Structure 1
């Protein structure tokens, strides 16, 4: 059985998985590496491929890769560029493109993401006040969740240090999050994929997951009512059961 690798989101640490990991089937070998520039992991260039390549040596030879939010973009890139390393794919709050865009330069419009002006505002605000921007981002992730207060508390407890020595690396992560567009790669991803998404997700609309379900070769979508961007914190038992059935099937 392949190990299960859990990839966290922007400005969080692997600690965000701590309680959820206990809800997963005991037969699963769970690994929770840190993304570049987070926790104690060294920072790398602010492009997704550099992040994926930096993470690769920490992964087992083969794994079920589960990515949440920014981690979902990394997981998609792993599956697309290193298919021999990813046996199955799980995306929580996932999307091929985080920011909405109008059609331009021959590219197709994308309306299932965060408003471009809001995304730019996050980048600008982070440059002036990283800590306050982090709090706002956490609040947005918990918005639309029936357990908003507990989700906010869990995210805050697992958040990255925003001090001067870490702010540059986190800014790079924000750039990766807001500039990546994996739509051209989606049709080439053949691994069985499980999509888990909160129906109340205010950060990443469930329409993004529905688009992935339609365009990936082998995907199924599970939507969680009353959940925001972090259903694994809001409904851990239900998320763990879905992952268990998918990985042990």
Structure 2
């Protein structure tokens, strides 16, 4: 599905950019709704790849959406009075997809939540990601008990403290993605490797990562911060794999301040 525009907040707010949102594996893009509402000074678009039939289709969907949004950012667009910079906000799988788009020159900035440049790693790199065998087991398990696999994945998304605090109530229910889309997402996580392209991604990047993330270990954020030329790392102590969830007001403020700093620096 082509990116759909989300109207958020005060329509009279001065617009400072456009954000294309890419969600994480098995999670509907509505997970960003509250964050979008707290950022009325941006136009918001979201890509729905929850029904993609293959990895190729998922990649085509996000690239088509990026082309569509960029083409509507010019001064001729009725929605914008000036050229609007394009930020891509990606969470987990969406973060990997965002890096892929940035490597092709589509992004003026990135906001990456719990992201990695390569999800599957060798045994000696367990501090950076998961073993490929775990992901292959998930693919096999989906064919037998997809809801069970999704439920186990969600259990690992939050820390014990976050579950006890009731943050699990903010997680969407399982079952919003089709089985082919779940498998396609896992295949992308197995195969995509953006590590070699990181030094060539020259746009500013805000990394937001929980230090207790069990799915994309904090080491993955450290790797991104070290290899991306213009990266800023916002560490979230004690947070799991959903560092923005139940912290949307704090995150929205950080995003806004960071982007204004980038714009101010670019104008000097």
**TM-score normalised by L of structure 1:** 0.84
Partner of 2:34: 19
Query: What pairs with 1:135-146 in structure 2 (closer than 5 Å)?
Result: 135-143=151-159, 146=162
Partner of 2:243: 231
Q: Do residues 168 (structure 1) and 180 (structure 2) align?
A: yes
- Residue 29 of structure 1 aligns to a residue whose secondary structure is strand
Query: What pairs with 1:73-152 in structure 2 (closer than 5 Å)?
Result: 73-81=96-104, 83=105, 85-102=106-123, 111-143=127-159, 146=162, 150-152=166-168
Which of 181, 189, 192 aligns to 1:180? It is 192
Further displaced range: 220-229 or 238-247: 238-247
Runs of 5+ in structure 1 lacking a partner?
104-108
Question: For the pair shown, which has the larger CA radius of gyration, 1 or 2?
Answer: 2
Pairwise CA distance, 1:52: 3.7
- Residue 17 of structure 1 aligns to a residue whose secondary structure is helix
CA contact (8 A) 1:102 1:110 kept: yes
Pairwise CA distance, 1:141: 1.0
Further displaced range: 139-148 or 177-186: 139-148
Runs of 5+ in structure 2 lacking a partner?
1-15, 72-84, 262-268
Distance 1:4 1:56, change over 3 A: closer
Count of matched residue positions in the alignment of Structure 1 and Structure 2: 233
**TM-score normalised by L of structure 2:** 0.78
CA contact (8 A) 1:227 1:234 kept: no
In the alignment, the residues of structure 2 paired with residue 48 and residue 185 of structure 1 have an alpha-carbon distance, to the nearest angstrom, of 20
Pairwise CA distance, 1:136: 0.8
CA contact (8 A) 1:5 1:65 kept: yes
Pairwise CA distance, 1:199: 1.0
The alignment yields a C-alpha RMSD, in angstroms, of: 2.3
